[in-house]
Structure 1
Amino acid sequence: MTDDARPVPRPEYPRPQFRRERWLNLNGEWGFEIDRGDSGLERGLLQRPLSGRIVVPFAPESELSGVHDIDFMTAVWYRRTVTLPSDWTGNRFLLHFGAVDHDTTVWVDGNEVGRHRGGFSSFTFDISSHITAGRPAEIVVRARDPRSGPQARGKQSTVYSNQVTEYTRTTGIWQTVWIEPVPPVAMRRPRITPNVAASSFLFDVPLTANTPGSRVRVVVSDAEGEVARGDVRADLDLAPTLQVTLPRDRVRLWSIDDPHLYDVEFTLEDADGRVLDLVTSYAGLRSVSIDGRGFLINGERVFQRLVLDQGMYPDGILTAPDDESLVRDIRLSQAAGFNGARLHQKVFEERFLYHADRLGYIVWGEFADWGCRIPGAPEDWQQPTSSYITQWLEVLERDYSHPSIVGWCPLNETYQFIDDRISVLDDVTRAMFLATKGVDRSRPALDASGYSHRVVETEIWDSHSYEQDPEEFARMMAPIAQGEPYTNREGDREMPPRDTPPWSVPYSGQPYFCSEFGGIWWNASLGHDADEAESWGYGGRPRSVEEFYTRFDGLVSVLIDDPEMFGYCYTQLTDVFQEQNGVYTFDRREKFDMDRIRAAQTRPAAFEDGRARPSLRSTT
């Protein structure tokens, strides 16, 4: 409950795959003040009460926050008094933020405890030196969100109002804030790697420190009870590693049709067997592999019928109103015939991934757009910085163990011509690809979705096309059969002329999919001459709903009938503000006969028949 006895918003545990029993949810009412000139520190906002109130974890631009101010906010301030339970004495105290946009500084009782840059990645500060269990302490948060400078904004509008594919901004706290007590020597987040071939899991269990004679024990269970266990010395390495093999009769793979999850318990014990730390988790036994141009899950050809999901809500903007809204979006997607999503232009909160894990919903982990464009473009078309890599590594570390994630893509629609100059974008794109593979060798990485593929080793190849004529769309996609797939270039709405400077390195036989297509505009209440500020989609609005069905079926059929395509991603799941090309409305009402939408997508795909041609790559 909040201080005034109202229910705590978003009360559920925010990190289901690394759970301790004790924690304190700090969502609810906080003191709040907008600092449009970013002069609050000089004006004493760190010391004095703030002028307003806000409901965390909802951004001040949202209705659910109680503020609902959509103008630019250079900085915002939060203040709350917290009293930790007295029985937490003897522990360290970790203050967790799901996400804060964009540049965060935190004080406890006037002492600065940490800073973080990045509006989409989670972060934690150890506040043990500045807070005592049983005694009140004051937490102050300042979030700066300037209009200029390198920053991952995703789809946040860079002008006052919404426009085309840019929407209402998010400033400050927009995911759950919470505190947990941890013992002096504790486990950090384990990394769980499934090994289907060996019917086992590899567990990496990093520690805050080592204790002589200590051990890490892991127990894997299912609905019938304990399946397997293992233990390893924890006094020699900061990250003890052990492999736990499952008995043959208890092996059950995680898949779209059977999203089986094993329960996992991690225990850190001292030399005398006393428990120092205990956390619970879960794991899915699932593999991802590449066979020529084939993208396989558990060794099988699974056509990826993905939908573009931007995770936006009318009243919460980037923040789901409640946990059930996350579940509903997955259920709505599945009802329409999709089996997964590109989580687009946003790092989704971890509870979405938890629900995807348990509902058998495959996803691609992505990051919000930075606005990388051609050198010499306007100043707000930013150039890369090291923050790109830093924030992406934070995401990889948090989300590594989720079985629903089948691939990574750190960049979206970056583009520059390839010439004799090596740009900073080339270096950063390659660095992000190498960082991805350094953290995770179990999943494929796509260097950038659509437009520029700058990394020769990129393991997946894709393109974006919003061609609305199915016959022309088929002509664009057809050259993949000859190993010359459609590649975005200047004038990408049409087949690019061969003399256009390339935006990508040459294709070399990777698995290929069209990762953005469709986007058919449909708002039956508005005519063809509707203003873009009011409603828009790709191409002309169909003249009737029957014409919509014909176009949808035609575009989907081009890809589902192509044995070279391992999947597609249709734009998009829901309307988002003025962009009205979803299969559902922004408030999640049906726009179409879902039986017809589902039927168009769920018939057998040519790729699943195993008829995809072999890779162009050498097998030597």
Structure 2
Amino acid sequence: MSRRSLPLIVALSLLATTHAPGEPAGSGWGPFRPAFDRLAPRPDWETDITERLSHVPPDGTPPLAHGAFFSPARRILRVKGASYRWEARLEPPPATPNDWPLALEADESRVIDAVTLDGKPSPAFSRNGRGALWSSGEGHLLLPPLPSGNSMLLGLEARELPQIYPNGFGRLRLRPATPDEVVLLESPAKDGIRVVNRSGFAIAGTLRWIHEDYFGVPLLEGETPIQLAPSAHARHAIPPGPPETYKTRCRIDLPQGSTLEYWDVRELDQTFRARDRAVRLKSGWRFQFATANPPATRPPDDGWKPVASIPFRPSDADYTSHWMWVENRFTLPSDWPVGQALELILPTAIEHHARIFFDGREIAARANWELPARIAIPGSFSAGGNHTLSILVTDYVAGLAPGIKPPEAGPMTPTGRGVAAPIGTTDPMRIAFNAIPELAPLPANRIDATSVRATVAPEPALTATARIAGRPGWSGTLRASVRFRGREIASIGEHAIRLDAAGNGSVSLSSPAPGITPWNVHTPDLYELRLELFDAGGAVTDTHRTRFGFRDFGIDGDRFVLNGERVNLYGGSHVYNTGLRWPVYPHPYRILRHGFTGSEVVAGGTSNGVAAMNAADEMGYLLKTADWSVNAHGADTYAWHLPEIWERLRATWRHAIETYGHHPSIVMWDIANEIAFRGRGERE
């Protein structure tokens, strides 16, 4: 499955053939479409050899057939957890090709401790390619080709742990190996992708790759021939993609079929994707704690310490007050549009209140229930300009309950907190700066925000609302279209715009969408709503892009339904990862616990943040997203009787749904985690 953000490969292979957008590539790349149930295609043949097994007693007595060993009469004689020796003669069916390896598949391979083939030690069963979302013990053993009429003696040493299967390992099936069991692609590095031949004979095929942007638009693709000797490996380079590259998809094509896709993803946790340019302030941060209580009203000049990385939580040794400054000095890139204002995108994981300063001047303040936030920075900014972003973060949120004084230095304990804010935990409340701020150009007249609803029944359709902002009285035209991998599939027409005296306007959009593929766990197709704003002279003043999927999710009686079909969901509260693994291979119908306020992809037993939403959208699994700042742990410290609490809760969800509602993987919104009203105001 795809990995967290990595630099793409920079070396260029002389053997690679590349195709720019618009050129005939012939590679047949389309959207990622997993197999029906994420399993390999049905093999040409498959033989269950379980009943061929014989138990080999250690005392030299005659072997006992598999079925007889598990008879009721012998059940009381067996020792649970003991290790047993099994043997079986492996014989492929007639007309089996002798140029391709075989595989022996076990339902539960983790209880098999040792394997022999014709009396010689063999490598162990492998679960490679199952991915962290596939939580069963299925595994395979790669075997050499066996021409018709030949055979080999299989020996197994297995523990009898009959939680599911009486013999511990379940059924054993002999079949042709899949391409993924023969060839592995290892995660990319600067010197290329490592291709590994796991078999004992030479292979020849083609490494295919494609660079795409966030909306699935192909940018550059190509192919490289590969030849590997038995059990050999080699590095193969991929040309770097253009700056807008979001994902690189790779696979190996062999005469016997293709491997799973392997993905390398850039900036998976980037929040703002609506415009092409954005500066992510990932490094160069420094911090210090304020010494005054309350702190000074401008950033200090000295006393700074470096921030190693984001997410960032200071140590207790640094915790000398309840206010922490973080600061970043940066330079706008050389291709920055001339003369536009800036927009600061402040993600959710600021704990728990922030005052924002730009070039030494305070421009805004936001509490956690007001995040994510988009903050306009007026002015005219140009490429190469040097600027400073300073943020003053506090661990208690403005709005202490009546009579509560600002706390002394040190993390606040639950008993001393008494905050009138949707924050609760049994752990001490701490300062944290856990998300990467982003800066984007801000046109004078622009598409400020878009909400999208794309449904399947009774017929596929899209409705959306676009908010326009700019100079009072400005007039122009909004053009809207739906696109799939860059190709326009539906026009939603042109709409006249005239902003009111406050510089605001809005447009409601609706369109049928015949011929689309509904988003589901088998075909997670994602579409793009592209909005273009033109001035009276026909020049484009802004382009705004939103990625979404067409899908319906609901309840029919006692069952969940996805696009009108009943589905069985497999919950994942503490069984992770979120699909960000290599290769692309999630469990079917997985629904994961997710926190939209988080920053790390996986932390604290949950999937988190926009990175996990992007992965779920692209991989085709489902999320139940929640606000982790509201939970049963410490709920008695909430001031539930104050109306501010409920106002802030509503604000939290308003911001969350407006920002993340277009993600088709989010099928449930959970207002809190294990909430239990134990304090004053519970009944009200």
Scaled to the shorter chain, the TM-score interval is 0.5 to 0.7
Q: Is it true that 1:90 corresponds to 2:352 in the alignment?
A: no
Q: Which residue of 2 aligns with 1:227?
A: 489
Question: Residues 132 and 23 from structure 1, CA distance in 2 versus in 1: closer, same or farther, beyond 3 angstroms?
Answer: same
Q: Is it true that 1:53 corresponds to 2:306 in the alignment?
A: yes
Contact preservation (8 Å) 1:54, 1:60: no
1:54 Cα deviation after fit: 0.4
Q: Which residue of 2 aligns with 1:127?
A: 377
Larger radius of gyration: 2
How far does the alpha carbon of each residue in 1:193-221 deviate from its partner, in whole angstroms, 9 at most, with x for none?
A: 01212312112111114765522222222
Q: Which residue of 1 aligns with 2:322?
A: 74
Question: Residues 394 and 16 from structure 1, CA distance in 2 versus in 1: closer, same or farther, beyond 3 angstroms?
Answer: closer
Q: Which residue of 2 aligns with 1:317?
A: none
Q: Could you tell me how far apart the structure 2 residues matched to 1:310 and 1:92 are? A: 44
- Match 1:363 to one of 598, 610, 623: 623
Question: Residues 54 and 202 from structure 1, CA distance in 2 versus in 1: closer, same or farther, beyond 3 angstroms?
Answer: same
Question: Residues 36 and 424 from structure 1, CA distance in 2 versus in 1: closer, same or farther, beyond 3 angstroms?
Answer: farther
Q: Could you tell me how far apart the structure 1 residues matched to 2:379 and 2:453 are? A: 35
Q: Could you tell me how far apart the structure 1 residues matched to 2:455 and 2:373 are? A: 29
Q: Which residue of 2 aligns with 1:529?
A: none
Q: Could you tell me how far apart the structure 2 residues matched to 1:59 and 1:374 are? A: 23
SS class of match (2:615): helix
SS class of match (1:412): coil
Q: Could you tell me how far apart the structure 2 residues matched to 1:360 and 1:236 are? A: 40
Q: Could you tell me how far apart the structure 2 residues matched to 1:326 and 1:294 are? A: 24
Question: Residues 89 and 332 from structure 1, CA distance in 2 versus in 1: closer, same or farther, beyond 3 angstroms?
Answer: closer
Q: Which residue of 2 aligns with 1:239?
A: 506
1:345 Cα deviation after fit: 8.4
Q: Could you tell me how far apart the structure 1 residues matched to 2:344 and 2:486 are? A: 36
Q: Which residue of 1 aligns with 2:671?
A: 410
- Match 2:362 to one of 104, 108, 112: 112
Question: Residues 154 and 398 from structure 1, CA distance in 2 versus in 1: closer, same or farther, beyond 3 angstroms?
Answer: farther
Matches within 5 A, 1:532-611: none
SS class of match (2:296): coil
Q: Could you tell me how far apart the structure 2 residues matched to 1:103 and 1:19 are? A: 26
Q: Which residue of 2 aligns with 1:386?
A: 647
SS class of match (1:265): strand
Q: Which residue of 2 aligns with 1:150?
A: 420
1:130 Cα deviation after fit: 8.8
Q: Could you tell me how far apart the structure 1 residues matched to 2:586 and 2:463 are? A: 31
Question: Residues 94 and 374 from structure 1, CA distance in 2 versus in 1: closer, same or farther, beyond 3 angstroms?
Answer: closer
Is the deviation greater in 377-386 or in 114-123? 377-386
SS class of match (1:351): helix
TM-score, with length taken from structure 2: 0.50
SS class of match (1:78): strand
1:119 Cα deviation after fit: 7.1
Q: Which residue of 2 aligns with 1:351?
A: 611
1:282 Cα deviation after fit: 1.9
1:333 Cα deviation after fit: 9.8
2:673 is aligned with what amino acid? N
Q: Which residue of 1 aligns with 2:591?
A: 340
Question: Residues 188 and 34 from structure 1, CA distance in 2 versus in 1: closer, same or farther, beyond 3 angstroms?
Answer: same
Q: Could you tell me how far apart the structure 1 residues matched to 2:441 and 2:272 are? A: 17
Matches within 5 A, 1:515-534: none
State the aligned residue count.
382
Contact preservation (8 Å) 2:341, 2:444: yes
Q: Is it true that 1:286 corresponds to 2:551 in the alignment?
A: yes
How far does the alpha carbon of each residue in 1:402-432 deviate from its partner, in whole angstroms, 9 at most, with x for none?
A: 11111212123333489xxxx74566xxxxx
1:256 is aligned with what amino acid? V
Q: Could you tell me how far apart the structure 1 residues matched to 2:381 and 2:511 are? A: 39
2:483 is aligned with what amino acid? S
Q: Is it true that 1:138 corresponds to 2:388 in the alignment?
A: yes
Question: Residues 178 and 364 from structure 1, CA distance in 2 versus in 1: closer, same or farther, beyond 3 angstroms?
Answer: same
Q: Which residue of 1 aligns with 2:480?
A: 218
Matches within 5 A, 1:301-340: 301-308=566-573, 327-328=579-580, 334-335=586-587, 339-340=590-591
Q: Which residue of 2 aligns with 1:513?
A: none
Q: Is it true that 1:205 corresponds to 2:463 in the alignment?
A: no
1:338 Cα deviation after fit: 5.8
Contact preservation (8 Å) 1:56, 1:176: no
Q: Could you tell me how far apart the structure 2 residues matched to 1:57 and 1:102 are? A: 16
Contact preservation (8 Å) 1:101, 1:120: no
Is the deviation greater in 77-86 or in 99-108? 77-86
Matches within 5 A, 1:412-491: 412-416=673-677, 424-425=681-682
Q: Could you tell me how far apart the structure 2 residues matched to 1:326 and 1:21 are? A: 26
How far does the alpha carbon of each residue in 1:537-566 deviate from its partner, in whole angstroms, 9 at most, with x for none?
A: xxxxxxxxxxxxxxxxxxxxxxxxxxxxxx
1:341 is aligned with what amino acid? L
Q: Could you tell me how far apart the structure 2 residues matched to 1:154 and 1:352 are? A: 23
2:521 is aligned with what amino acid? I
2:612 is aligned with what amino acid? F
Q: List gaps (5 residues or longer) in structure 2.
A: 1-189, 191-264, 397-411, 500-504, 599-607
TM-score, with length taken from structure 1: 0.54
- Match 1:19 to one of 274, 282, 290: 274
1:280 is aligned with what amino acid? R
Question: Residues 17 and 425 from structure 1, CA distance in 2 versus in 1: closer, same or farther, beyond 3 angstroms?
Answer: farther
Q: Could you tell me how far apart the structure 2 residues matched to 1:130 and 1:271 are? A: 23
1:27 is aligned with what amino acid? K
Question: Residues 333 and 413 from structure 1, CA distance in 2 versus in 1: closer, same or farther, beyond 3 angstroms?
Answer: farther
Q: Report the structure, 1 or 2, having the larger strand content.
A: 2
- Match 1:28 to one of 253, 278, 283: 283
SS class of match (2:630): coil
Q: Could you tell me how far apart the structure 1 residues matched to 2:623 and 2:550 are? A: 16
Q: Could you tell me how far apart the structure 1 residues matched to 2:466 and 2:318 are? A: 43
Q: Which residue of 2 aligns with 1:551?
A: none
- Match 1:255 to one of 520, 536, 543: 520
1:92 Cα deviation after fit: 1.6
